[in-house]
Amino acid sequence: MFDILLCIHDQHDHRLVVLAGVICLVAAASSVLLLRHARHISGPAAVRWTVGAGFAIGFGIWATHFVAMLGYDPGVIVGYGVPATIVSLAIAIAMTTISFFVALGWPERRGLAAAAVLGGGGIAGMHYIGMSALEIPAEMHWRAGYVAASLLFAILPGYPALRLAVRGHSLRSGLGASLLLALSVLLLHFTGMAGMQLTAAPLGRPDDVLLSSQSMAAMIAGGSLGLLTLCTALLAMARRARMALHASERAMSILVQGITDCAIYMLDREAHVVNWNAGAQRLKGYDAHEAIGLPLAAFYTPEDRAQRAHEHAVGLALENGKFTGEGWRLRRDGTRFWAHVTIEKVTDEQGQHIGFAKITRDMTRFKEDEDRLRELAGHLDAALGNMHQGLCLFDAQRELLMANSRFAQIWGIDPAVTLRGQTLAAVADAAAAVQVARGLSERDAEFLHRQVVQCFELPGGSPVVLDVGEHLVVAMTSRAMPGGGRVVTFEDITERRRSEDKIAHMAMHDSLTGLPNRSSFAHWIDAELEQARHFGHQLATVMIDLDRFKEINDTRGHGAGDMALQLLSKRLLDVLLDGEVVARLGGDEFAAAKRFRDRAELASFLDRLESCFATPLGPADNAFHLGASIGVAIFPHDGEWREQILNNADLAMYRAKGGLGERIAYYEPEMDETARARRQIAHDLRLAIERDELSLVYQAQHSLVDGEPNGYEALLRWRHPTRGLVSPVEFIPVAEETGEIFRIGEWVLREACREARDWPAGLKVAVNLSAVQLLQPDLADVVRGILVETGLPAARLELEITETAIIADKLRALHLLRQIKALGVSIAIDDFGTGYSSLDTLHSFPFDKIKIDKSFVLKSQRSAEARAIIKAVLALGQSLNMPVLAEGVETGDQAALLREQGCDQAQGYYFGRPGRAPFPLALEGSLRVAG
């Protein structure tokens, strides 16, 4: 131990030793969190999370080793061999991942021990192979005792660490597992380093490629940052998934806990209690903390346990999906009650068995009623009067000997009607006739009659449920008596069935809108895909993402957002036909699907869906304006399986969201590549400001009267380090989609105002506003703050907007622009003459300038229609006393035409190309106009 301490103290940089320990601890904690998340899920998702945990700890161990090596000073280090360095990283990741799979698959003692050996061996392999990568002018010799000790240090802490990680649940156990894992790595490293002896020797021929210490430091730093980012993203995803799951479980728990007449609880796959409702506590006497973890056998009588009745019941539920039975059960105080038990197998979305749902009802009273009937034949009338079941006694000829009053109440038969002496068929007809009078169809009444007659003959006294209609569900039990007669009981289980149906409905439907949820939609799609493969028809899946929904929540509150979703859901349901479904997947995300044979059917379906967003929702004085982006993928052309088809529909939806004026988009194969490219642009764009990759250029705006410049329009440029100059047409839509436009737009406005502050006083600076920026509630405050910060007078700032930016929510946009105009800032309407241009917009808001779209100017020499539009816009500007600026002027003839028609201002390549410094451009343009 003293040699180890001397090795750390004398041969290492203490700062890098501490950094290595921190990296090791962070990696260990991340892997423990990812491993615990994988423990609670199954299928491919569990594999991905386990691999992520192995990658986190494997890379962290490797980084710990080489950070510590960067702090090791043996004298002269030439570098690090690339092959051995890469192999050491691969071994660390592979062996720790394998050990995690073993620990999760076999969490008992032997499995954890094997996992500890595998993981420790991988750590040791990484260390010694990594040491072989070290290129120094010396020979390495190893002391066997220290090498053996390092192996023990790598393996022994691994067993308790994996035990705490896999079996533990608390924060303390997670921290303990992380510390033990980190300790094993650090002990291995420094024990191994203490056991290394160096003997001076000439440097052999190194690898063709060596990594310097600086390269290793950069690689480790970059990799550690990437690892931290990846783990943070994965844990955020897990946290969102857990929050959604907990919300769903909380809603289910509220319902289940509110049912007090039944014991409703869940069992795990080994038939141990995992939750406990109030009805179970009342019925069986156990508090929740006492019951959770108990085996199912604890509630059975000693006789039933000896016969393994609990194993038989669970086995039947596992095999058939459901078990129903009756028998004596025990309470906590040792008393018994007669129970009616239902055990149902529970599976996840992938069909994997995850446990059982158990419902127990106290039937002691029913049992006592039956026993009292046999034991107290002399007091039959009094006993029957106290029963809560309806009872009929038939002789061997199927003629009714007697019936209690409860039987008539259940079936709604008039007590004055005499049933005694009637045959079974006549009694069944009487009950069915009442239900027909209540609205039951003749066909269903005949089916009810047959069920009653068939149940009468069933052996063993098993109950049969009769679904009479929406308002009545009856459990009928027929038992044989000595002499050939039968006693038949009827129990009204309508409320019980409603509770069960409500639970089942909540599990498959969205609690806010009542639409099918994600799980229900997935089941529907899977069933329809099977039908489509069998019968040869097509299936369209539609992903719908609401536009401007977040704005409703932000401006009107979440209550208003919930109301909007409910109104929209009702409208969507109203347009559905047979073979169509719509579901809410969560938040503002909806999905729909339809089976069809020709495109006309699909077009009609999409038209009906799109019509749901055409008009505002709700009353006129409180209307909600919701738009939607719709993506469509079709089986079998766009995929064979549900996940593939839904993912492709999602890609198409994002195409619709990003396209100007495009609300419905069909999936195309190239969307996969486009989506990847857009994700990369979005990632790089978030770093563009910090990396100083954004810049502004300016294009002069000239007066056509005297040829002098009166302002400049600021134009954004992005010079990517590898892609070069990226067009705004390519990256602005991505910025709008991701919300990055708010930060970029604020940077552009601040930078333009800062530079324009030093221009001559008569020159304005024009800045374009995105349509998305008009959704920013505090935009006016942002403009005011930038003007104060930069010192630019408000009168020298001009904001340009397009009418398409206003049209989405005209009242809101115009209100926001009036706030900005009140600051003294000028507002210009850009690209006038295209899109939705109308006199109503000009009338609703007094703009300071009209900008004619450059497309008209470019065509003005060869198109009479373009010249007519220019003339009309100029006349409109004169009538409104509003200056007009023409964009895209490239020739002297175009400038002369505009001057002849009375245009006030112009900009374009004729006056100079956009540049960094405006004043040389201004001078060049002035000379050209004057000449």
CA distances from 218 to 72, 132, 212, 768 (A): 17, 20, 10, 40
Tell me the residue ranges of DSSP E strands in 53-162. Answer: 79-81, 134-135, 138-142
Q: How many CB atoms lie within 10 A of CB 641?
A: 12
> What is the mean pLDDT of the segment spanning 596-604?
90
Look over the chain and give the mean of its residue pLDDT values, rounded to a whole number.
80
Peptide bond into 760 cis (omega under 30): no
Nearest to 582 by CA among 600, 595, 569: 569
Predicted confidence (pLDDT) per residue in 119-151, tens digit: 778 787 777 787 776 666 666 777 777 778 778
* 662 CB-side CA count, 13 A: 14
Out of 93-102, 127-136, 690-699, 810-819, least confident range: 127-136
Q: Which residue has the higher pLDDT, 654 or 886?
A: 886
Task: For residue 197, name the pLDDT band (cuts at 50, 70, 90).
Answer: low
Separation CA 192–CA 782 (nearest Å): 59
Task: For residue 29, name the pLDDT band (cuts at 50, 70, 90).
Answer: confident
CB 269 within 8 A of CB 250: no
Out of 192-206, 585-599, 699-713, 898-912, least confident range: 192-206
Please give the angle made by the CA atoms of 54, 59 and 60, to the nearest 5 degrees: 100
> What is the mean pLDDT of the segment spanning 906-929?
65
Q: What are phi and psi of 209, to 5 degrees?
A: -125, 125
Nearest to 832 by CA among 862, 864, 769, 874: 874
Separation CA 128–CA 130 (nearest Å): 5
CB 103 within 8 A of CB 31: no
pLDDT value of residue 300:
92
Nearest to 337 by CA among 293, 301, 385: 301
Separation CA 255–CA 113 (nearest Å): 43
Question: Which residue type occupies 97?
Answer: T
Q: Are strands 538-547 and 464-469 parallel, antiparallel or unpaired?
A: unpaired
Strand, helix or coil for residue 163: helix
Q: Reply yes or no on whether the pLDDT at 82 is more than 50.
A: yes
Residue owning tokens 């062996």: 95
Separation CA 704–CA 885 (nearest Å): 9
Nearest to 734 by CA among 683, 804, 808, 805: 683
Separation CA 498–CA 259 (nearest Å): 12
> What is the mean pLDDT of the segment spanning 380-391?
72
Q: Reply yes or no on whether the pLDDT at 260 is more than 70.
A: no
Question: Which residue type occupies 580?
Answer: E
Separation CA 25–CA 671 (nearest Å): 41
Those residues whose C-beta lies under 8 Å from the C-beta of residue 795, and which sit 6 or more positions away, are: 824, 825, 826
Those residues whose C-beta lies under 8 Å from the C-beta of residue 333, and which sit 6 or more positions away, are: 285
Q: Reply yes or no on whether the pLDDT at 251 is more than 50.
A: no
Predicted confidence (pLDDT) per residue in 627-674, tens digit: 889 999 999 988 889 998 998 898 888 888 866 556 888 988 776 666
Long-range pairs for 569-578: beta carbons < 8 A, 24 or more residues apart: 569/513, 569/514, 569/515, 571/612, 571/617, 572/515, 572/609, 572/612, 573/515, 575/608, 575/609, 575/611, 575/612, 577/605
Q: Reply yes or no on whether the pLDDT at 895 is more than 60.
A: yes
Q: Are strands 764-768 and 797-802 parallel, antiparallel or unpaired?
A: parallel
Q: Reply yes or no on whether the pLDDT at 420 is more than 50.
A: yes
Task: For residue 382, name the pLDDT band (cuts at 50, 70, 90).
Answer: low
Nearest to 829 by CA among 810, 812, 845: 845
Nearest to 836 by CA among 848, 857, 853: 853
Those residues whose C-beta lies under 8 Å from the C-beta of residue 68, and which sit 6 or more positions away, are: 12, 16, 17, 20, 189, 190, 193
pLDDT value of residue 706:
85
Residue owning tokens 């059917």: 601
Separation CA 401–CA 422 (nearest Å): 8
CB 293 within 8 A of CB 272: yes
State the DSSP string of 826-889: EEEEEEETSTT--HHHHHHS--SEEEE-HHHHHTTTT-HHHHHHHHHHHHHHHHTT--EEE---
CA distances from 887 to 775, 839, 858, 906, 919 (A): 27, 20, 9, 6, 19
pLDDT value of residue 217:
56
**Residue 356: exposure state from Cβ atoms within 10 A (0-12, 13-18, ≥19):** buried
pLDDT value of residue 781:
93
CB 587 within 8 A of CB 814: no
Separation CA 851–CA 697 (nearest Å): 19
CB 651 within 8 A of CB 671: yes
CB 874 within 8 A of CB 851: no
Q: Reply yes or no on whether the pLDDT at 423 is more than 60.
A: yes
Q: Reply yes or no on whether the pLDDT at 700 is more than 60.
A: yes
pLDDT value of residue 927:
35
% of the chain beyond a pLDDT of 70 = 81
pLDDT value of residue 343:
92
Q: Reply yes or no on whether the pLDDT at 738 is more than 90.
A: no
* 769 CB-side CA count, 13 A: 28
pLDDT value of residue 564:
87
Predicted confidence (pLDDT) per residue in 609-631, tens digit: 999 988 888 777 677 788 889 99
pLDDT value of residue 30:
77
Predicted confidence (pLDDT) per residue in 331-372, tens digit: 888 898 899 999 998 887 556 788 899 999 888 877 777 776
Separation CA 388–CA 372 (nearest Å): 13
Q: Which residues pair with 694 in a beta bridge?
A: 718
Separation CA 567–CA 550 (nearest Å): 16
SS3 content of the chain, % helix, strand, coil (to 5): 55, 20, 25
CB 312 within 8 A of CB 324: no
pLDDT value of residue 931:
32
pLDDT value of residue 156:
83
pLDDT value of residue 373:
60
Predicted confidence (pLDDT) per residue in 537-578, tens digit: 899 999 999 887 877 777 777 888 888 889 989 999 999 998
pLDDT value of residue 765:
94
Task: For residue 930, name the pLDDT band (cuts at 50, 70, 90).
Answer: very low
Strand, helix or coil for residue 478: strand
Q: Reply yes or no on whether the pLDDT at 78 is more than 70.
A: no
